Chain A
Amino acid sequence: MTGPDMRIGADRFYDGTHLYDVRLLSTLGYSDSQIGEVEAVEGVAAVMPSKSTDVMGQINEEQYAMRIASMPIKALNDSSCTDACTVESTEENYLNRLILERGRWPEKAGECVISADRVAGVPVEMGDKLEVLYGSQDLDGVLKTKLFTIVGTVHSSSYVSSVTMGATSLGSGSIQQFAYVSEADFDADCPYTELFIEVEGASDLFSGSDEYKEHVGVVVDRLEGMADNLAQSRLDDIKKEAQDELDEKSAEYEYEKADALSKLDDAKTELDDAEEKLDDADQQILDGQSKIDSGYAQLYDGYAQLDAQKAEAYGKLADARKELEANQQKIDDASVELESKRSEVESSKEKKIELQGQLEQASTGLEQAQAALPELEAGISQLEAGIAQAEQGIAELNVGIAELEAQISQLPEDDPQRAALEAQLEGLQQQKTSAQEQLAGLQEQLAGLQTQKTGLETKIAELEAAIPQLEDGIAQIDAGIAAFEEAEAELAAGKKKLEDGWAEYNSQAASAYTQIANGENQLYSSEQQLIASQQELESARTDAAQGREELEDGKKEYEKERKKALDELADAAQLIADAQKDIDDLELPDIYVLDRTKNYGVESQVADSERIDNIARVFPFIFFLVAALVALTTMTRMVDEDRVLIGTYKALGYSKASITGRYLIYAGLASTIGAIIGLAILSQVLPFTISKAYAIIYNIPDYPLPMPFDWQFGLLSGGLGVGITLAATMAAAMATLREQPAQLMLPRAPKAGKRILLERIAPLWKRVSFSWKVTFRNLFRYKKRMFMTVVGIAGCTALLLTGWGLHDSIWDIIDKQFGPVVNYNVITKMGNDVSEEELISVEAYMRDKGDTEDITRVQSSNMQVGSARHNPMGVEVVVPKQVDEFAKLLTMKERIGQVPIAFDDTSVVLTEKLAKTLEISVGDTFQLYEQDDIGNALGSGFTLTLTGIMENYIGSSAYIGKDAYSMATGDTCSFTTLYGRCTDGVDERLVFTEGLHEFDGVRTVTYNDETIDSYRTMLTSVDMIVVVLVVSAAALAFIVLYNLTNINITERRREIASLKVLGFTKREVYAYIFREIVLLSLLGALLGLILGTFLESFVCVTAEVDYVMFGRDIHTSSYVISFVMTLAFTAFVMLFMRKKLNTVDMVESLKSVE
């Protein structure tokens, strides 16, 4: 019930904001008296006049095609917003009430509020400026203010679609932003352009419903009835007003003319006076110059004399200086020499002292030696005496010895005296030995003393020779020192003389310098005087030249002004004549009576909600089918489990009705509770989610929770769910009750095994393993379950595929449109009156600065096309100037087979969606209409024959060759729109755009890929549906698989237990049971892929918006993903169910028959 909810929400919003029921538009506006007339029409509750105009505005560097409309400021400020979608106001004529989102209401002229919903690009802050660049019409006499301060943002029910706000001749052709301003911002002369009308009692009816349309239609008819009268009276008013104004203007013209001519004469006289004065000034300047020249000649003489004097004085000084410097050099040399000698003298003084020391030493040594000599000689003679004594002793001893020896030799050998004698002898010999030793010692001493004596004598001789030498040396040194001191005295005298010479030189030089400086100063001051006079003269000269120039300018100016004045006067005369003609030519204005269906936002919101209705018709079908199957299986099983109980009841005599009733009550209660919960949640969550998604497109305030509940629909869905469950229960109960009570008391005979068709193919069957045999037999044994599983899984896969496929289709729009089809991204529109030269230079600019060499020129206009089967609808008609150039920027090919379409000057190609909407194919004819400002087709149209249908995803376009176009319409084309390409960078683009706007003829520069972003936003909302689908699919898969597997396992507990007893491993048991489910899942998934393909294509076509064609292909990856996801869900359920299989207890299950 999302669709109805969306419409309910919209109706609340429209009623709450008093959105107009009828809009009265006039090409010439309305006068005040006419407003009264309209108010008086029966059924009209309120009328709000408004002034509006379409302009190109700029906010924070970004340009928007926007509609500026006036609003009653007082009413705005007095209104109060009671909830998200209701505005209270005491002013009943305040319609299209705005809801303030941020900031405040405009309080005076120059302030505006803009849309809160369409603040694209750069964020807008309160206080930012809106600058009006230019309008779709001349803004003079329309808009007084060109610069507005944005004081607030608002929601407007007049513009609920964020995709487009309506058509305009500006920019890309659609309004991107609006601004509401004070009436004071419009020129007082600008008439009200439209009247918004509220129809009495219309708000009680549901907007868009037939009752509403009928009710409003009555008033529309009445208004249309008076439209002709309104037009005529308006024309009369305007003519009269204009004529009055024109008469006034022509009188003014005559007066102005006379005034201008007299002013010209005055100017001429003034110029002549000025010229005379200038001639005088020139003569004075010549005189002054000759005086200055003679002054300069004198000055140069003075300078020459001074230079000569200077040279002489400097020469003399230089000579004196040279001499002084030579003397100085000499002195310096002498003192250097003296200094070098000084050290020599010092060293000889030292040497003298040394020599004196040596002399002293030598004298002392001599004295000592002479003193020692006698002593030594005495020693020697003493020793000589000693020696003689010792020699005598020895000789005595020798005698004694000889005596003794003789005595001894006389004695016999054994004589006792002999021994005494021998001892005596020995003693004597010993004495002799020691005397000899003594002698030797004395002789040695003597030798030593004699050597000493000889040495001493030699020394004395030496010293006596040295002393006179030393005395000579000392005398020489004394002579050297005396000579040095004399030289020193001489040098000091020389230095003194030189210093005197320098002093004299310096005083001479100083006096010479002073004299020269004085001379120079005199000359310099006279030169300064001359320069000053020259400067004075030059400035006088410049003044004179300037004066002359000014005079010339003045003359030229005069001529120009004169010409201009004359031209202007002529122009004015022409203007007056033209204006008179215009007044005479004024035609009846067109008056349009438009109801809400002509409001793009209102109408497309209704269309979109109906689109959701369409989708809503399909999905519940799938879910109901599955719910029925689930209910049927579950209830059948429940009844089956109770068969013994049922048998007992029956045996006790309960009627069939009461037994069935018991189950019906159970099923009824369960399903009713389920339905209520389901409705309660889904009727809120689903519409809320989807509306949220659509809220990106439609700026209708959030519906407050709880969402309005459609009882009719709710009861229908709930009832259907409950009904299906009850029917399933009934069927199951009845089937059981047909049996006899006795039979019922017995356990139900297990369903007999049966041969299946497959077994007839013996060779194949033989190869099948037992588990597979069981699997196949089981599949056919439980047909209901098989059917249900396949349907459930198929539904799951189909939903997944639809989801992913939808995703593909949506994102393909952008991927396939920009690049494969459209190769340009910048569209430069120029005024229709632009010159060929200008076009060429703009083209050159785009080629130079843009991203591509390929620039193509086309005629692009908003027109309408219609066919025998479809009413005219707005399209962009593009006529290329050069088809080969054009082909580089737009690829034309058929979608199926990607066959290129030949396009030449006679071709007529429509975009695919457009051709489909018009229900025409190649070779058919269709009508091309011009349209008026508010989008009505004019005339009976021009017939064209379609030659090709091209793949295209965004927008509706007709591409017509220029010959075909001219032939059909009889018009010549003006190729003033240029397609090109520019890089993506924001800054580069800004520069590029600014560069283009430098050219006068450039009206708008738009980038078509910037619209991609807005498409993306819009498409993201549809992606939300993908999420819903995937979640639903998962839920569906789980419910179906879980339920079925559960039943399967429960019913086959004994079988499973038997297998376990036989020794089947866990894995083998899983395989045995799950094989069926896997097989069915595969089958279901495959079926689902087929089903999904159709479902997706249905949903795609249903969900498409008029100007967008979704991609028609589901990607292979989506097939794979859907398939794999389904199997993953299956695997997950099986994983979960393994536990249940494990809990099947052999002992319990086999004990007895249940």
Chain B
Amino acid sequence: MAFVEFKNVRKVYHMGEVEVAAVDDMNFSFEEGEFVVIVGPSGAGKTTVLNILGGIDTATSGSILLDGNEISAYNEQELTQYRRHDIGFVFQFYNLVQNLTALENVELASQICKDPLDPRESLEAVGLGHRIDNFPGQLSGGEQQRVAIARALAKNPKLLLCDEPTGALDYQTGKAILELLQERCHETGRTVVLITHNQAFTAIADRVIHVREGKAASIETNAQPVSASTIEW
């Protein structure tokens, strides 16, 4: 059985009298330890898929299984616990708490979960060992995103979800972040799901899910993923 499984998932938004299906009968699955890239044009439903998978949004119908647990059946409290212990999120705009230092931002996450990694080490692992006492405002975009990744990883989640993590970054920094993610994934054997509209990213994935108009148009596995440092866009 697959590690993560989406079965006939639908997500319908009501916009006044119109019903819009952001995700429409989505089916896919992937295995533990894979680096999964979900790719598709804007409005294809990528982010919705990620939000549903991350427990910050709920599906209208269908079922989502993670490691044998049916997430789609969770209530609000269970979802909170799910986010708390099983999920790490990295957003396009970092979403750090401005009033906490880099270290404290990581600690903020690590203090609430069961089996956290050492925050300091997490930051060192993302190459920010020397800036742990800086506030987000004192860090560049790339550095802030590194803090966000460190924060997500420090929770030691089953699943690391990244929503356009390079979207707000320049090419070089974006690439560095991508490298970091790939490296952290391979080093720790963690399952990573990354969504992007950038087709170039598919090269580095173990599995690529193409999303189009709310459906998984095609799923392909990449036997020989390349290093992020080699790709260009």
Contact = CB atoms under 8 A, between A and B. Distances in A.
Interface of A: 749-754, 769-770, 773-774, 777-778, 781, 1054-1055, 1057-1066, 1068, 1146-1147, 1150-1153
Interface stretch (B2-10, B30-38, B79-87, B173-181): B79-87
Contacts of B97: 774, 1055, 1058-1059
B80 A1065 contact: yes
Interface string B117-137: 000000000000000000111
Contact of B85 (A752, A773, A1063, A1064): A1063
A752 B84 contact: no
A858 B89 CA distance: 91
Contacts of B107: 770
Contacts of A1061: 54, 56, 83, 89, 95
A753 B101 contact: yes
B84 A1062 contact: yes
B165 to A, nearest CB: 13
Interface in B133-178: 135-138, 151, 155
A645 to B, nearest CB: 22
Contacts of A1146: 51, 56-57
Contacts of B135: 752-754
B99 interface: yes
Contact of B84 (A753, A1055, A1063, A1066): A1063
Interface residues of B, number: 37
Given A753-B136, A1062-B112, A1063-B112, A781 B81 contact: no
A1063 B80 contact: yes
B113 interface: yes
A1067 to B, nearest CB: 10
B154 to A, nearest CB: 11
A1066 B84 CA distance: 12
Contacts of B113: 1063
A750 B137 contact: yes
Contact of A751 (B56, B83, B89, B98): B98
B51 A1062 contact: no
B28 interface: no
Given A749-B137, A1146-B56, A1147-B51, A1062 B109 contact: yes
A1057 B109 CA distance: 13
A770 B108 contact: yes
A752 B137 contact: yes
A1062 B83 contact: yes
B99 A1063 contact: no
Nearest to B76: A1066
Contacts of A1059: 97
Contacts of B95: 1054, 1057-1058, 1061, 1150
A774 B99 CA distance: 6
Given A1061-B89, A1062-B83, A1152-B93, A752 B109 contact: no
Contacts of B80: 1060, 1063-1066
Given A770-B104, A773-B104, A1061-B89, 8 more contacts: A1060-B56, A1060-B80, A1062-B83, A1062-B155, A1063-B82, A1063-B83, A1065-B84, A1151-B47
Interface in B43-100: 47, 51, 54, 56-57, 77, 80-85, 87, 89, 91-93, 95-100
B137 to A, nearest CB: 3
A62 to B, nearest CB: 74
A1103 to B, nearest CB: 47
A753 B98 contact: yes
17 contacts: A751-B98, A752-B135, A752-B137, A753-B136, A754-B135, A770-B100, A1058-B95, A1062-B89, A1063-B84, A1063-B87, A1063-B113, A1066-B80, A1147-B51, A1147-B56, A1147-B57, A1150-B95, A1153-B93
Contacts of B54: 1061
Contact of B99 (A753, A1062, A1065, A1068): A753
Nearest to A1055: B97
B133 to A, nearest CB: 9
A22 B156 CA distance: 95
B99 A777 contact: yes
Given A1062-B83, A1147-B51, A1147-B57, A753 B112 contact: no
Contacts of A1068: 112
A1057 B101 CA distance: 19
Contacts of B93: 1150, 1152-1153
Nearest to B85: A1063
Contacts of A781: 99
Contacts of B82: 1063
Interface of B: 47, 51, 54, 56-57, 77, 80-85, 87, 89, 91-93, 95-101, 104, 107-109, 111-113, 135-138, 151, 155
A1061 B88 CA distance: 9
Contacts of A774: 97, 99-100
Contacts of A1066: 80
B117 to A, nearest CB: 15
A1150 B89 CA distance: 11
Contact of A753 (B57, B100, B151): B100
A21 B57 CA distance: 83
B91 A1150 contact: yes
Contacts of B112: 1062-1064, 1068
Nearest to B79: A1063
A1059 B83 CA distance: 10
Contacts of B137: 749-750, 752-753
Contacts of A1151: 47
Contacts of A749: 137
A274 B26 CA distance: 149
A732 to B, nearest CB: 21
B104 to A, nearest CB: 6
A556 to B, nearest CB: 116
A1055 B97 CA distance: 6
A869 B64 CA distance: 91
A1055 B93 CA distance: 12
Contacts of A770: 100, 104, 107-108, 111
A1062 B138 contact: no
A603 to B, nearest CB: 62
Contacts of B77: 1065
A691 to B, nearest CB: 52
Contacts of B81: 1063
A1151 B95 CA distance: 10
Contacts of B104: 770, 773
Contacts of B138: 752
B103 to A, nearest CB: 10
Nearest to B95: A1058
Nearest to A774: B99
Contacts of B56: 1060-1061, 1146-1147, 1150
Nearest to B163: A1150
Contacts of B151: 1062
Contacts of B101: 753
A89 to B, nearest CB: 75
A1064 B151 CA distance: 14
Contacts of A752: 98, 135, 137-138
A778 B77 CA distance: 28
A1062 B108 contact: yes
A1147 B99 CA distance: 22
Contact of A773 (B51, B84, B100): B100
6 tightest Cβ-Cβ pairs between the two chains A and B: A1063-B84, A752-B137, A753-B135, A1063-B83, A1146-B56, A753-B99
A777 B100 CA distance: 8
A965 to B, nearest CB: 76
Nearest to A775: B99
A867 to B, nearest CB: 63
B66 to A, nearest CB: 15
A1051 to B, nearest CB: 11
A1050 to B, nearest CB: 16
A1113 to B, nearest CB: 44
Listed residue (A749, A1058, A1146) with the most chain B CB atoms within 10 angstroms of its CB: A1058
